[in-house]
Chain A
Protein backbone atom coordinates (compact mmCIF):
# COMPACT_ATOMS: atom_id res chain seq x y z
CA UNK A 1 0.00 0.00 0.00
CA UNK A 2 1.37 3.42 -0.94
CA UNK A 3 2.17 5.85 1.85
CA UNK A 4 1.51 9.55 1.99
CA UNK A 5 3.00 11.27 -1.03
CA UNK A 6 3.83 14.91 -1.51
CA UNK A 7 4.64 16.93 -4.59
CA UNK A 8 6.95 18.57 -5.34
CA UNK A 9 9.79 17.38 -3.17
CA UNK A 10 11.54 20.73 -3.57
CA UNK A 11 10.38 24.13 -4.72
CA UNK A 12 12.41 27.29 -5.14
CA UNK A 13 10.49 30.48 -5.84
CA UNK A 14 10.97 34.20 -5.54
CA UNK A 15 9.33 36.39 -2.98
CA UNK A 16 5.88 37.43 -4.16
CA UNK A 17 5.29 34.38 -6.30
CA UNK A 18 2.68 31.71 -5.71
CA UNK A 19 3.35 28.08 -4.89
CA UNK A 20 0.97 25.18 -4.54
CA UNK A 21 1.94 22.07 -2.61
CA UNK A 22 0.07 18.83 -3.04
CA UNK A 23 -0.51 15.95 -0.66
CA UNK A 24 -2.00 12.56 -1.49
CA UNK A 25 -2.99 10.74 1.69
CA UNK A 26 -3.12 7.01 2.20
CA UNK A 27 -6.19 5.67 0.45
CA UNK A 28 -9.19 5.54 2.75
CA UNK A 29 -7.81 7.94 5.32
CA UNK A 30 -10.38 10.55 6.26
CA UNK A 31 -8.03 12.73 8.30
CA UNK A 32 -5.40 14.85 6.62
CA UNK A 33 -3.01 17.23 8.33
CA UNK A 34 -0.50 19.86 7.28
CA UNK A 35 2.57 20.74 9.34
CA UNK A 36 5.66 22.76 8.65
CA UNK A 37 9.11 23.27 10.06
CA UNK A 38 10.90 26.50 9.41
CA UNK A 39 14.68 26.66 9.78
CA UNK A 40 15.85 25.87 13.30
CA UNK A 41 12.36 25.60 14.71
CA UNK A 42 10.10 22.75 15.73
CA UNK A 43 7.52 21.06 13.57
CA UNK A 44 4.32 23.10 13.83
CA UNK A 45 0.75 22.04 13.20
CA UNK A 46 -1.05 24.03 10.50
CA UNK A 47 -4.44 22.45 10.00
CA UNK A 48 -6.57 19.33 10.06
CA UNK A 49 -9.13 18.11 7.54
CA UNK A 50 -11.77 15.50 8.14
CA UNK A 51 -12.71 14.46 4.64
CA UNK A 52 -13.25 17.78 2.84
CA UNK A 53 -14.01 19.83 5.96
CA UNK A 54 -11.50 21.90 7.89
CA UNK A 55 -11.69 20.61 11.44
CA UNK A 56 -8.98 22.78 12.95
CA UNK A 57 -7.04 25.51 11.17
CA UNK A 58 -5.69 27.20 14.25
CA UNK A 59 -2.09 26.79 13.11
CA UNK A 60 -2.40 28.57 9.78
CA UNK A 61 -0.02 31.54 10.03
CA UNK A 62 -1.98 34.10 8.02
CA UNK A 63 -4.35 34.57 5.10
CA UNK A 64 -1.60 34.07 2.54
CA UNK A 65 -2.03 30.35 3.16
CA UNK A 66 -5.00 28.51 1.67
CA UNK A 67 -5.59 24.81 2.11
CA UNK A 68 -8.19 22.84 0.22
CA UNK A 69 -9.30 19.26 0.05
CA UNK A 70 -11.97 19.04 -2.59
CA UNK A 71 -13.72 15.70 -2.67
CA UNK A 72 -11.98 14.58 0.48
CA UNK A 73 -9.07 12.97 -1.32
CA UNK A 74 -5.87 14.87 -2.03
CA UNK A 75 -5.15 18.27 -0.55
CA UNK A 76 -3.37 21.38 -1.74
CA UNK A 77 -1.70 24.10 0.24
CA UNK A 78 -1.26 27.36 -1.62
CA UNK A 79 0.98 30.17 -0.49
CA UNK A 80 0.19 33.48 -2.19
CA UNK A 81 2.19 35.67 -2.19
CA UNK A 82 5.15 33.83 -0.73
CA UNK A 83 7.41 35.62 1.74
CA UNK A 84 10.95 34.83 2.83
CA UNK A 85 9.78 33.53 6.21
CA UNK A 86 7.65 30.88 4.50
CA UNK A 87 10.78 28.89 3.67
CA UNK A 88 10.86 25.52 5.38
CA UNK A 89 9.70 21.95 5.05
CA UNK A 90 5.97 21.32 4.73
CA UNK A 91 4.77 17.92 5.89
CA UNK A 92 1.48 16.27 5.23
CA UNK A 93 0.10 13.42 7.33
CA UNK A 94 -3.00 11.27 7.17
CA UNK A 95 -4.84 8.94 9.50
CA UNK A 96 -7.86 6.69 9.35
CA UNK A 97 -9.89 8.60 11.90
CA UNK A 98 -12.01 7.34 14.72
CA UNK A 99 -11.06 8.45 18.19
CA UNK A 100 -8.11 10.70 18.78
CA UNK A 101 -6.40 8.15 20.99
CA UNK A 102 -6.31 5.60 18.23
CA UNK A 103 -5.38 8.11 15.56
CA UNK A 104 -1.94 7.16 14.24
CA UNK A 105 -0.71 9.77 11.82
CA UNK A 106 1.44 8.70 8.87
CA UNK A 107 3.67 11.39 7.48
CA UNK A 108 4.81 12.10 3.97
CA UNK A 109 8.42 12.95 3.07
CA UNK A 110 7.74 16.67 3.02
CA UNK A 111 8.15 19.47 0.48
CA UNK A 112 11.14 21.71 0.97
CA UNK A 113 10.14 25.26 0.05
CA UNK A 114 12.76 27.93 -0.48
CA UNK A 115 11.66 31.52 -1.02
CA UNK A 116 14.39 33.81 -2.37
Chain B
Protein backbone atom coordinates (compact mmCIF):
# COMPACT_ATOMS: atom_id res chain seq x y z
CA UNK B 1 0.00 0.00 0.00
CA UNK B 2 1.50 3.29 -1.11
CA UNK B 3 2.28 5.91 1.50
CA UNK B 4 0.93 9.36 0.78
CA UNK B 5 2.30 12.71 1.90
CA UNK B 6 0.30 15.92 2.00
CA UNK B 7 0.58 19.28 3.75
CA UNK B 8 -0.58 19.25 7.35
CA UNK B 9 -2.63 22.42 7.00
CA UNK B 10 -3.69 25.13 4.57
CA UNK B 11 -5.50 28.42 4.92
CA UNK B 12 -7.69 30.04 2.31
CA UNK B 13 -10.35 32.71 1.90
CA UNK B 14 -13.90 32.35 0.74
CA UNK B 15 -14.27 32.39 -3.03
CA UNK B 16 -10.73 31.27 -3.74
CA UNK B 17 -9.69 28.12 -5.54
CA UNK B 18 -7.80 25.71 -3.31
CA UNK B 19 -5.35 23.14 -4.58
CA UNK B 20 -4.11 20.42 -2.26
CA UNK B 21 -1.22 18.35 -3.57
CA UNK B 22 -0.50 14.82 -2.46
CA UNK B 23 2.70 12.89 -3.05
CA UNK B 24 2.61 9.12 -3.58
CA UNK B 25 6.00 8.15 -4.97
CA UNK B 26 5.54 4.42 -4.45
CA UNK B 27 2.14 4.12 -6.02
CA UNK B 28 1.43 0.70 -7.50
CA UNK B 29 0.08 0.06 -10.96
CA UNK B 30 -3.29 -1.02 -9.60
CA UNK B 31 -3.71 1.82 -7.13
CA UNK B 32 -6.39 4.46 -7.52
CA UNK B 33 -6.16 7.91 -5.97
CA UNK B 34 -9.08 8.65 -3.69
CA UNK B 35 -9.86 11.79 -1.71
CA UNK B 36 -12.06 11.99 1.35
CA UNK B 37 -13.34 14.98 3.33
CA UNK B 38 -14.02 14.86 7.04
CA UNK B 39 -15.84 17.34 9.25
CA UNK B 40 -15.55 17.26 13.05
CA UNK B 41 -17.66 14.56 14.67
CA UNK B 42 -18.45 12.95 11.32
CA UNK B 43 -17.07 10.08 9.33
CA UNK B 44 -14.97 10.62 6.19
CA UNK B 45 -16.97 11.45 3.08
CA UNK B 46 -15.90 10.38 -0.42
CA UNK B 47 -15.10 13.31 -2.71
CA UNK B 48 -13.46 12.02 -5.86
CA UNK B 49 -11.35 9.20 -7.27
CA UNK B 50 -9.13 8.85 -10.31
CA UNK B 51 -6.41 6.78 -11.95
CA UNK B 52 -4.71 9.25 -14.27
CA UNK B 53 -5.20 12.56 -16.13
CA UNK B 54 -8.16 14.60 -14.91
CA UNK B 55 -11.42 13.73 -13.23
CA UNK B 56 -14.13 16.27 -12.43
CA UNK B 57 -17.38 16.03 -10.57
CA UNK B 58 -19.80 18.52 -9.06
CA UNK B 59 -17.61 19.02 -6.02
CA UNK B 60 -13.98 18.96 -7.14
CA UNK B 61 -11.41 18.16 -9.78
CA UNK B 62 -8.55 15.73 -9.50
CA UNK B 63 -5.39 16.09 -11.54
CA UNK B 64 -2.99 13.17 -11.85
CA UNK B 65 0.15 13.54 -14.00
CA UNK B 66 1.39 10.79 -16.28
CA UNK B 67 3.91 9.42 -13.77
CA UNK B 68 1.16 9.22 -11.10
CA UNK B 69 3.62 10.05 -8.33
CA UNK B 70 1.47 12.94 -7.18
CA UNK B 71 -2.06 14.25 -7.49
CA UNK B 72 -3.81 17.55 -6.88
CA UNK B 73 -7.28 18.03 -5.50
CA UNK B 74 -8.82 21.27 -6.71
CA UNK B 75 -11.75 22.86 -4.90
CA UNK B 76 -13.24 25.76 -6.87
CA UNK B 77 -14.43 28.83 -4.98
CA UNK B 78 -14.34 27.46 -1.45
CA UNK B 79 -16.79 28.57 1.21
CA UNK B 80 -16.59 28.54 4.99
CA UNK B 81 -18.33 25.17 5.00
CA UNK B 82 -15.38 23.62 3.16
CA UNK B 83 -13.31 23.90 6.32
CA UNK B 84 -12.45 20.26 7.00
CA UNK B 85 -9.71 17.67 6.88
CA UNK B 86 -8.95 16.26 3.43
CA UNK B 87 -7.39 12.82 3.05
CA UNK B 88 -5.50 11.56 0.02
CA UNK B 89 -5.37 7.79 -0.35
CA UNK B 90 -3.63 5.50 -2.82
CA UNK B 91 -5.76 2.41 -2.80
CA UNK B 92 -5.35 -0.80 -4.74
CA UNK B 93 -7.54 -3.03 -2.68
CA UNK B 94 -10.44 -2.87 -0.30
CA UNK B 95 -8.24 -1.98 2.65
CA UNK B 96 -8.08 1.80 3.02
CA UNK B 97 -5.06 3.44 4.65
CA UNK B 98 -5.55 6.96 5.94
CA UNK B 99 -2.70 9.39 6.47
CA UNK B 100 -2.75 12.48 8.63
CA UNK B 101 -4.69 14.49 6.07
CA UNK B 102 -4.63 18.22 5.30
CA UNK B 103 -6.55 20.52 7.58
CA UNK B 104 -8.08 23.23 5.38
CA UNK B 105 -9.28 26.36 7.12
CA UNK B 106 -11.39 28.75 5.05
CA UNK B 107 -11.63 32.28 6.35
CA UNK B 108 -14.20 34.95 5.59
**Cβ contact within 8 Å between A45 and B97:** yes
Known: A43-B44, A107-B44. A100 touches B100 (CB 8 A): no
**Cβ contact within 8 Å between B96 and A101:** no
User: Does A14 count as interface, using CB distance less than 8 angstroms?
Assistant: no
Question: In B13-48, which residues have CB < 8 Å from any A CB?
Answer: 30, 32, 41-46
How distant is A65 from chain B, measured CB to nearest CB, in Å? 17
**Cβ contact within 8 Å between A108 and B43:** yes
Closest B residue by C-beta to A50 = B94
Residues of B within 8 A of A109 (CB): 41-43
Interface residues on A, range: 20 to 34
CA A59 to CA B45, docked complex, whole Å: 21
Residues of B within 8 A of A44 (CB): 98
**Cβ contact within 8 Å between A42 and B99:** yes
Residues of A within 8 A of B46 (CB): 104-106
Residues of A within 8 A of B91 (CB): 100
Interface, chain A (partner B; CB < 8 A):
4, 31, 33, 35, 42-45, 48, 55-56, 58-59, 91, 93, 95, 100-101, 103-110
Interface, chain B (partner A; CB < 8 A):
30, 32, 41-46, 49, 51, 87, 91-101
- Top-6 shortest CB links A-B: A107-B43, A43-B98, A100-B93, A107-B44, A91-B43, A101-B32
